Structure 1
Protein backbone atom coordinates (compact mmCIF):
# COMPACT_ATOMS: atom_id res chain seq x y z
CA UNK A 1 0.00 0.00 0.00
CA UNK A 2 1.25 3.46 -0.93
CA UNK A 3 2.16 5.19 2.36
CA UNK A 4 1.16 8.68 1.24
CA UNK A 5 -1.48 10.06 -1.06
CA UNK A 6 -0.39 12.06 -4.08
CA UNK A 7 -1.75 15.18 -2.41
CA UNK A 8 0.31 14.52 0.72
CA UNK A 9 3.47 13.97 -1.29
CA UNK A 10 2.92 17.14 -3.27
CA UNK A 11 2.28 19.09 -0.06
CA UNK A 12 5.59 17.85 1.37
CA UNK A 13 7.48 18.77 -1.79
CA UNK A 14 5.92 22.23 -1.77
CA UNK A 15 6.81 22.72 1.89
CA UNK A 16 10.42 21.68 1.34
CA UNK A 17 10.76 24.13 -1.54
CA UNK A 18 9.77 26.99 0.80
CA UNK A 19 12.20 26.03 3.54
CA UNK A 20 15.63 27.38 4.31
CA UNK A 21 18.48 25.14 3.21
CA UNK A 22 18.73 23.64 6.68
CA UNK A 23 14.97 23.11 6.87
CA UNK A 24 14.86 21.53 3.41
CA UNK A 25 17.60 19.05 4.28
CA UNK A 26 16.01 18.12 7.62
CA UNK A 27 12.49 17.62 6.27
CA UNK A 28 13.67 15.71 3.19
CA UNK A 29 15.62 13.24 5.35
CA UNK A 30 12.67 12.87 7.73
CA UNK A 31 10.34 12.00 4.87
CA UNK A 32 12.80 9.45 3.50
CA UNK A 33 13.10 7.94 6.98
CA UNK A 34 9.33 7.50 7.22
CA UNK A 35 8.97 6.01 3.75
CA UNK A 36 11.83 3.59 4.37
CA UNK A 37 10.21 2.40 7.58
CA UNK A 38 6.96 1.72 5.75
CA UNK A 39 8.83 -0.02 2.93
CA UNK A 40 10.81 -2.30 5.25
CA UNK A 41 7.66 -3.23 7.21
CA UNK A 42 5.99 -4.13 3.92
CA UNK A 43 8.95 -6.35 3.04
CA UNK A 44 9.31 -8.18 6.36
CA UNK A 45 7.07 -10.96 7.64
CA UNK A 46 3.87 -9.67 9.22
CA UNK A 47 4.81 -8.08 12.55
CA UNK A 48 2.76 -7.13 15.58
CA UNK A 49 2.59 -3.48 16.60
CA UNK A 50 4.83 -4.24 19.59
CA UNK A 51 7.50 -5.80 17.37
CA UNK A 52 7.38 -2.82 15.01
CA UNK A 53 7.75 -0.46 17.96
CA UNK A 54 10.73 -2.42 19.30
CA UNK A 55 12.43 -2.34 15.90
CA UNK A 56 11.77 1.23 14.82
CA UNK A 57 10.61 3.43 17.68
CA UNK A 58 12.71 2.65 20.72
CA UNK A 59 15.80 4.82 21.08
CA UNK A 60 18.10 1.81 20.94
CA UNK A 61 16.00 -0.15 18.46
CA UNK A 62 17.98 -1.88 15.71
CA UNK A 63 16.15 0.13 13.02
CA UNK A 64 15.73 3.41 14.87
CA UNK A 65 18.26 5.28 12.72
CA UNK A 66 18.07 6.29 9.08
CA UNK A 67 21.44 4.67 8.42
CA UNK A 68 20.26 1.28 9.68
CA UNK A 69 17.08 1.51 7.60
CA UNK A 70 19.09 2.26 4.47
CA UNK A 71 21.46 -0.64 5.04
CA UNK A 72 18.68 -3.13 5.80
CA UNK A 73 16.64 -1.95 2.83
CA UNK A 74 19.63 -2.58 0.59
CA UNK A 75 20.26 -6.01 2.17
CA UNK A 76 16.60 -6.92 1.59
CA UNK A 77 16.97 -6.12 -2.10
CA UNK A 78 14.63 -3.12 -2.03
CA UNK A 79 16.97 -0.89 -4.03
CA UNK A 80 20.32 -1.07 -5.77
CA UNK A 81 23.73 0.30 -4.83
CA UNK A 82 23.24 3.60 -6.68
CA UNK A 83 20.03 4.32 -4.78
CA UNK A 84 21.64 3.24 -1.54
CA UNK A 85 24.32 5.90 -2.13
CA UNK A 86 21.66 8.53 -2.91
CA UNK A 87 19.86 7.75 0.36
CA UNK A 88 23.09 8.02 2.33
CA UNK A 89 23.78 11.35 0.61
CA UNK A 90 20.43 12.68 1.84
CA UNK A 91 21.23 11.38 5.34
CA UNK A 92 24.72 12.85 5.45
CA UNK A 93 23.60 16.25 4.16
CA UNK A 94 20.95 16.23 6.89
CA UNK A 95 23.65 15.46 9.47
CA UNK A 96 25.91 18.20 8.15
CA UNK A 97 23.18 20.78 8.71
CA UNK A 98 22.05 19.29 12.02
CA UNK A 99 25.51 19.30 13.59
CA UNK A 100 26.43 22.89 12.73
CA UNK A 101 25.22 25.75 14.90
CA UNK A 102 26.38 28.57 12.64
CA UNK A 103 24.25 29.67 9.69
CA UNK A 104 25.14 27.54 6.67
CA UNK A 105 23.66 26.77 3.28
CA UNK A 106 24.11 24.40 0.39
CA UNK A 107 26.81 26.77 -0.81
CA UNK A 108 28.98 25.82 2.17
CA UNK A 109 32.15 24.27 0.64
CA UNK A 110 31.83 20.97 2.52
CA UNK A 111 28.13 20.51 1.77
CA UNK A 112 28.46 21.68 -1.81
CA UNK A 113 31.34 19.26 -2.43
CA UNK A 114 29.39 16.42 -0.83
CA UNK A 115 26.45 16.98 -3.15
CA UNK A 116 28.47 17.65 -6.30
CA UNK A 117 30.64 14.55 -5.95
CA UNK A 118 28.01 12.06 -4.76
CA UNK A 119 24.86 12.67 -6.77
CA UNK A 120 24.21 10.12 -9.51
CA UNK A 121 25.70 10.69 -12.98
CA UNK A 122 22.24 11.53 -14.32
CA UNK A 123 21.80 14.30 -11.76
CA UNK A 124 25.39 15.43 -12.13
CA UNK A 125 24.77 15.92 -15.86
CA UNK A 126 22.61 18.95 -15.03
CA UNK A 127 25.72 21.05 -14.60
CA UNK A 128 23.89 24.36 -14.22
CA UNK A 129 21.87 23.21 -11.21
CA UNK A 130 22.83 24.56 -7.82
CA UNK A 131 23.80 22.12 -5.04
CA UNK A 132 20.42 22.74 -3.36
CA UNK A 133 18.54 21.91 -6.56
CA UNK A 134 20.58 18.75 -7.11
CA UNK A 135 19.87 17.66 -3.55
CA UNK A 136 16.14 18.25 -3.96
CA UNK A 137 16.23 16.59 -7.36
CA UNK A 138 17.73 13.51 -5.69
CA UNK A 139 15.03 13.59 -3.01
CA UNK A 140 12.26 13.96 -5.61
CA UNK A 141 13.60 10.89 -7.42
CA UNK A 142 14.03 8.71 -4.33
CA UNK A 143 10.84 9.47 -2.38
CA UNK A 144 8.35 8.38 -5.07
CA UNK A 145 10.51 5.39 -6.01
CA UNK A 146 10.54 4.06 -2.44
CA UNK A 147 6.86 4.78 -1.94
CA UNK A 148 5.81 3.00 -5.12
CA UNK A 149 8.09 0.06 -4.31
CA UNK A 150 6.14 -0.45 -1.08
CA UNK A 151 2.97 -0.99 -3.14
CA UNK A 152 4.43 -3.90 -5.14
CA UNK A 153 1.97 -6.81 -4.57
CA UNK A 154 4.61 -9.53 -4.02
CA UNK A 155 6.89 -7.48 -1.80
CA UNK A 156 6.44 -9.43 1.46
CA UNK A 157 8.83 -12.25 2.21
CA UNK A 158 7.45 -15.47 3.64
CA UNK A 159 8.31 -17.18 6.89
CA UNK A 160 10.30 -20.31 6.03
CA UNK A 161 7.91 -22.45 8.05
CA UNK A 162 5.17 -21.43 5.61
CA UNK A 163 7.18 -22.59 2.59
CA UNK A 164 6.46 -26.24 1.63
CA UNK A 165 9.72 -26.41 -0.32
CA UNK A 166 11.64 -25.48 2.84
CA UNK A 167 10.25 -28.49 4.71
CA UNK A 168 11.01 -30.76 1.75
CA UNK A 169 14.56 -29.43 1.64
CA UNK A 170 14.92 -29.81 5.41
CA UNK A 171 13.73 -33.41 5.35
CA UNK A 172 16.06 -34.35 2.48
CA UNK A 173 19.09 -32.79 4.16
CA UNK A 174 18.21 -34.33 7.51
CA UNK A 175 17.74 -37.75 5.95
CA UNK A 176 21.19 -37.49 4.39
CA UNK A 177 22.66 -36.45 7.75
CA UNK A 178 21.01 -39.33 9.58
CA UNK A 179 22.23 -41.84 7.01
CA UNK A 180 25.73 -40.45 7.38
CA UNK A 181 25.67 -40.63 11.17
CA UNK A 182 23.73 -43.81 11.68
CA UNK A 183 24.03 -46.03 8.62
CA UNK A 184 26.48 -45.34 5.89
CA UNK A 185 29.70 -45.69 7.87
CA UNK A 186 29.91 -49.47 7.72
CA UNK A 187 26.65 -50.39 9.42
CA UNK A 188 24.98 -51.84 6.34
CA UNK A 189 28.11 -53.87 5.61
CA UNK A 190 28.09 -55.09 9.19
CA UNK A 191 24.44 -55.98 8.80
CA UNK A 192 25.21 -58.21 5.84
CA UNK A 193 28.29 -59.87 7.32
CA UNK A 194 27.17 -60.28 10.92
CA UNK A 195 23.38 -60.48 11.11
CA UNK A 196 23.20 -61.16 14.85
CA UNK A 197 21.37 -58.52 16.86
CA UNK A 198 24.35 -58.18 19.19
CA UNK A 199 26.49 -56.99 16.33
CA UNK A 200 23.79 -54.58 15.20
CA UNK A 201 23.47 -52.61 18.43
CA UNK A 202 23.80 -48.95 17.70
CA UNK A 203 24.90 -46.12 19.95
CA UNK A 204 23.96 -42.63 18.78
CA UNK A 205 27.55 -41.56 19.27
CA UNK A 206 27.90 -39.21 22.21
CA UNK A 207 24.80 -37.11 21.68
CA UNK A 208 23.02 -35.60 24.66
CA UNK A 209 19.59 -36.89 25.60
CA UNK A 210 17.99 -33.77 24.14
CA UNK A 211 19.86 -34.25 20.86
CA UNK A 212 18.86 -37.92 20.73
CA UNK A 213 15.21 -36.97 21.24
CA UNK A 214 15.36 -34.51 18.35
CA UNK A 215 17.03 -37.07 16.10
CA UNK A 216 14.44 -39.70 17.02
CA UNK A 217 11.60 -37.31 16.21
CA UNK A 218 12.97 -36.45 12.77
CA UNK A 219 13.96 -40.03 11.99
CA UNK A 220 10.37 -41.10 12.56
CA UNK A 221 9.20 -38.23 10.36
CA UNK A 222 11.33 -39.16 7.36
CA UNK A 223 11.26 -42.94 7.69
CA UNK A 224 9.43 -45.61 5.69
CA UNK A 225 6.37 -47.07 7.44
CA UNK A 226 7.47 -48.53 10.76
CA UNK A 227 6.61 -51.79 12.46
CA UNK A 228 4.30 -51.35 15.46
CA UNK A 229 6.14 -50.60 18.69
CA UNK A 230 6.45 -53.46 21.15
CA UNK A 231 7.35 -53.40 24.85
CA UNK A 232 10.87 -54.46 23.87
CA UNK A 233 11.35 -52.17 20.88
CA UNK A 234 10.37 -48.60 20.11
CA UNK A 235 10.80 -48.32 16.35
CA UNK A 236 12.71 -45.16 15.45
CA UNK A 237 13.60 -45.42 11.78
CA UNK A 238 13.24 -47.70 8.76
CA UNK A 239 14.54 -47.42 5.22
CA UNK A 240 13.02 -50.69 4.08
CA UNK A 241 16.23 -52.66 4.65
CA UNK A 242 16.72 -52.33 8.40
CA UNK A 243 15.13 -50.66 11.38
CA UNK A 244 16.53 -48.72 14.28
CA UNK A 245 14.92 -49.66 17.59
CA UNK A 246 15.34 -48.48 21.18
CA UNK A 247 14.73 -50.93 23.97
CA UNK A 248 13.40 -50.28 27.46
CA UNK A 249 16.89 -49.54 28.74
CA UNK A 250 17.44 -46.88 26.11
CA UNK A 251 19.88 -48.95 24.07
CA UNK A 252 19.70 -48.73 20.28
CA UNK A 253 19.58 -51.79 18.05
CA UNK A 254 19.80 -52.03 14.29
CA UNK A 255 17.61 -54.92 13.10
CA UNK A 256 16.75 -56.36 9.68
CA UNK A 257 13.39 -55.19 8.41
CA UNK A 258 10.97 -58.15 8.40
CA UNK A 259 10.14 -59.33 4.86
CA UNK A 260 6.86 -57.92 3.54
CA UNK A 261 3.90 -60.17 4.27
CA UNK A 262 5.69 -62.20 6.90
Structure 2
Protein backbone atom coordinates (compact mmCIF):
# COMPACT_ATOMS: atom_id res chain seq x y z
CA UNK A 1 0.00 0.00 0.00
CA UNK A 2 1.28 3.44 -0.86
CA UNK A 3 2.22 5.72 2.00
CA UNK A 4 1.72 8.82 -0.15
CA UNK A 5 -0.72 11.38 1.14
CA UNK A 6 -3.65 12.12 -1.16
CA UNK A 7 -3.42 15.50 -2.84
CA UNK A 8 -5.91 18.17 -1.98
CA UNK A 9 -9.28 17.40 -3.54
CA UNK A 10 -8.71 13.64 -3.89
CA UNK A 11 -11.19 12.74 -1.17
CA UNK A 12 -13.90 14.71 -2.93
CA UNK A 13 -12.97 13.01 -6.21
CA UNK A 14 -13.21 9.60 -4.54
CA UNK A 15 -16.65 10.48 -3.23
CA UNK A 16 -17.85 11.63 -6.68
CA UNK A 17 -16.57 8.39 -8.18
CA UNK A 18 -18.37 6.36 -5.54
CA UNK A 19 -21.59 8.14 -6.51
CA UNK A 20 -20.82 7.33 -10.16
CA UNK A 21 -20.59 3.63 -9.28
CA UNK A 22 -24.19 3.67 -8.09
CA UNK A 23 -25.14 4.10 -11.75
CA UNK A 24 -22.97 1.19 -12.93
CA UNK A 25 -24.03 -2.46 -12.89
CA UNK A 26 -22.55 -4.08 -9.78
CA UNK A 27 -21.17 -7.04 -11.76
CA UNK A 28 -18.70 -4.90 -13.73
CA UNK A 29 -15.06 -4.78 -12.65
CA UNK A 30 -15.02 -0.98 -12.94
CA UNK A 31 -17.66 -0.87 -10.19
CA UNK A 32 -15.31 -2.66 -7.77
CA UNK A 33 -12.34 -0.56 -8.87
CA UNK A 34 -14.10 2.76 -8.38
CA UNK A 35 -15.31 1.75 -4.93
CA UNK A 36 -11.77 0.87 -3.90
CA UNK A 37 -9.62 3.58 -5.49
CA UNK A 38 -7.68 4.27 -2.31
CA UNK A 39 -6.05 0.82 -2.49
CA UNK A 40 -7.21 -1.05 -5.61
CA UNK A 41 -4.87 -4.01 -5.24
CA UNK A 42 -5.96 -5.22 -1.84
CA UNK A 43 -8.29 -8.04 -2.83
CA UNK A 44 -7.62 -11.44 -4.40
CA UNK A 45 -9.25 -10.67 -7.74
CA UNK A 46 -7.12 -7.56 -8.15
CA UNK A 47 -4.02 -9.59 -7.34
CA UNK A 48 -5.09 -12.21 -9.87
CA UNK A 49 -5.66 -9.62 -12.59
CA UNK A 50 -2.35 -7.93 -11.82
CA UNK A 51 -0.49 -11.26 -11.92
CA UNK A 52 -2.12 -12.33 -15.19
CA UNK A 53 -1.41 -9.02 -16.91
CA UNK A 54 2.14 -8.51 -15.68
CA UNK A 55 3.32 -12.12 -16.00
CA UNK A 56 1.63 -12.64 -19.38
CA UNK A 57 2.88 -9.28 -20.63
CA UNK A 58 6.40 -10.19 -19.53
CA UNK A 59 6.26 -13.38 -21.61
CA UNK A 60 4.99 -11.38 -24.59
CA UNK A 61 7.83 -8.87 -24.23
CA UNK A 62 10.41 -11.64 -23.73
CA UNK A 63 9.25 -13.27 -26.97
CA UNK A 64 9.58 -9.95 -28.75
CA UNK A 65 13.13 -9.43 -27.47
CA UNK A 66 14.19 -12.99 -28.28
CA UNK A 67 12.82 -12.77 -31.83
CA UNK A 68 14.45 -9.37 -32.38
CA UNK A 69 17.87 -10.95 -31.87
CA UNK A 70 17.52 -12.44 -35.35
CA UNK A 71 14.61 -10.74 -37.15
CA UNK A 72 11.71 -8.33 -36.89
CA UNK A 73 9.19 -9.29 -34.22
CA UNK A 74 5.47 -9.30 -35.06
CA UNK A 75 3.25 -6.73 -33.37
CA UNK A 76 1.02 -9.05 -31.34
CA UNK A 77 1.41 -11.92 -28.87
CA UNK A 78 -0.27 -14.55 -31.08
CA UNK A 79 1.96 -13.83 -34.06
CA UNK A 80 5.05 -13.68 -31.85
CA UNK A 81 4.31 -17.17 -30.55
CA UNK A 82 3.83 -18.48 -34.08
CA UNK A 83 7.03 -16.83 -35.34
CA UNK A 84 9.00 -18.14 -32.34
CA UNK A 85 7.75 -21.64 -33.21
CA UNK A 86 8.54 -21.22 -36.92
CA UNK A 87 12.12 -20.05 -36.32
CA UNK A 88 12.78 -22.77 -33.74
CA UNK A 89 12.88 -20.53 -30.70
CA UNK A 90 10.20 -22.66 -29.02
CA UNK A 91 8.97 -26.20 -29.67
CA UNK A 92 5.38 -27.06 -30.66
CA UNK A 93 4.45 -28.06 -27.09
CA UNK A 94 5.88 -24.83 -25.72
CA UNK A 95 3.91 -22.84 -28.30
CA UNK A 96 0.73 -24.50 -27.03
CA UNK A 97 1.64 -23.48 -23.48
CA UNK A 98 2.42 -19.94 -24.64
CA UNK A 99 -0.99 -19.72 -26.29
CA UNK A 100 -2.58 -20.81 -22.97
CA UNK A 101 -0.67 -18.02 -21.21
CA UNK A 102 -1.82 -15.56 -23.91
CA UNK A 103 -5.45 -16.62 -23.60
CA UNK A 104 -5.40 -16.41 -19.79
CA UNK A 105 -3.84 -12.95 -20.01
CA UNK A 106 -6.47 -11.87 -22.54
CA UNK A 107 -9.33 -13.06 -20.34
CA UNK A 108 -8.04 -10.90 -17.49
CA UNK A 109 -7.30 -7.96 -19.78
CA UNK A 110 -10.74 -7.85 -21.38
CA UNK A 111 -13.15 -9.16 -18.74
CA UNK A 112 -15.61 -6.53 -17.59
CA UNK A 113 -16.78 -8.67 -14.68
CA UNK A 114 -14.50 -9.53 -11.77
CA UNK A 115 -12.58 -12.70 -12.52
CA UNK A 116 -9.93 -14.66 -10.68
CA UNK A 117 -7.70 -17.70 -11.00
CA UNK A 118 -10.30 -19.59 -8.97
CA UNK A 119 -12.73 -19.37 -11.91
CA UNK A 120 -13.11 -23.01 -13.08
CA UNK A 121 -12.06 -22.36 -16.68
CA UNK A 122 -9.01 -20.31 -15.66
CA UNK A 123 -8.04 -22.80 -12.97
CA UNK A 124 -8.32 -25.69 -15.44
CA UNK A 125 -6.22 -23.88 -18.06
CA UNK A 126 -3.61 -23.08 -15.44
CA UNK A 127 -3.41 -26.74 -14.40
CA UNK A 128 -2.42 -27.53 -17.97
CA UNK A 129 0.63 -25.34 -17.53
CA UNK A 130 2.01 -27.89 -15.08
CA UNK A 131 3.10 -30.00 -18.00
CA UNK A 132 5.63 -27.38 -19.06
CA UNK A 133 9.14 -28.53 -18.17
CA UNK A 134 10.82 -25.85 -16.12
CA UNK A 135 14.50 -25.56 -15.43
CA UNK A 136 14.54 -25.04 -11.68
CA UNK A 137 13.08 -26.49 -8.48
CA UNK A 138 9.81 -24.66 -9.08
CA UNK A 139 8.68 -27.11 -11.74
CA UNK A 140 9.16 -30.08 -9.46
CA UNK A 141 6.83 -28.61 -6.86
CA UNK A 142 4.49 -26.86 -9.31
CA UNK A 143 1.40 -29.06 -8.77
CA UNK A 144 1.10 -27.90 -5.15
CA UNK A 145 0.99 -24.19 -6.04
CA UNK A 146 -2.21 -22.18 -6.28
CA UNK A 147 -3.19 -21.37 -9.89
CA UNK A 148 -2.03 -17.73 -9.63
CA UNK A 149 1.38 -18.81 -8.38
CA UNK A 150 1.65 -21.57 -10.98
CA UNK A 151 0.87 -19.12 -13.76
CA UNK A 152 3.50 -16.67 -12.50
CA UNK A 153 6.13 -19.42 -12.10
CA UNK A 154 5.60 -20.80 -15.60
CA UNK A 155 5.62 -17.29 -17.08
CA UNK A 156 8.86 -16.54 -15.22
CA UNK A 157 10.42 -19.75 -16.53
CA UNK A 158 9.49 -18.87 -20.10
CA UNK A 159 10.99 -15.40 -19.68
CA UNK A 160 14.17 -16.91 -18.32
CA UNK A 161 14.44 -19.44 -21.14
CA UNK A 162 13.77 -16.83 -23.79
CA UNK A 163 16.12 -14.15 -22.46
CA UNK A 164 19.10 -16.06 -21.10
CA UNK A 165 21.75 -17.28 -23.52
CA UNK A 166 21.81 -21.07 -24.02
CA UNK A 167 24.22 -22.88 -21.73
What range is the shorter-chain TM-score in? Answer: 0.5 to 0.7
Counterpart Cα distance in 2 of 1:112 and 1:124: 19
1:21 matched to 2:48: yes
- Normalised TM-score (structure 1): 0.41
Counterpart Cα distance in 1 of 2:132 and 2:163: 23
1:133 matched to 2:160: no
Which residue of the partner structure matches residue 77 of structure 2?
Answer: 66
Which residue, out of 118, 121, 128, partners 1:110? 121
Structure 1 residues 124 and 91: CA distance shift in structure 2, 3 A: farther
Q: How is 1:88-237 mapped onto 2 (pairs within 5 angstroms)? A: 88-120=99-131, 123=139, 126-148=142-164, 151=165
1:84 matched to 2:95: yes
Counterpart Cα distance in 1 of 2:149 and 2:129: 14
Structure 1 residues 116 and 144: CA distance shift in structure 2, 3 A: same
Counterpart Cα distance in 2 of 1:75 and 1:94: 23
Larger relative contact order (C-alpha < 8 A, sep ≥ 6)? 2
- Between Structure 1 and Structure 2, the one with more helix by share is 2
Shift of the alpha carbon at 1:72? 0.4
- Between Structure 1 and Structure 2, the one with more strand by share is 1
Structure 1 residues 119 and 85: CA distance shift in structure 2, 3 A: farther
Structure number with greater Rg is: 1
Flag structure 2 segments of 5+ consecutive residues without an equivalent. Answer: 1-45, 134-138
Contact 1:82 / 1:120 at 8 angstroms: preserved in 2? no
Instruction: Quote the RMSD (CA, aligned, Å).
Output: 2.5
Q: How many residues align?
A: 118
1:33 matched to 2:60: yes
Structure 1 residue ranges (4+ consecutive) displaced by more than 6 angstroms after TM superposition:
none
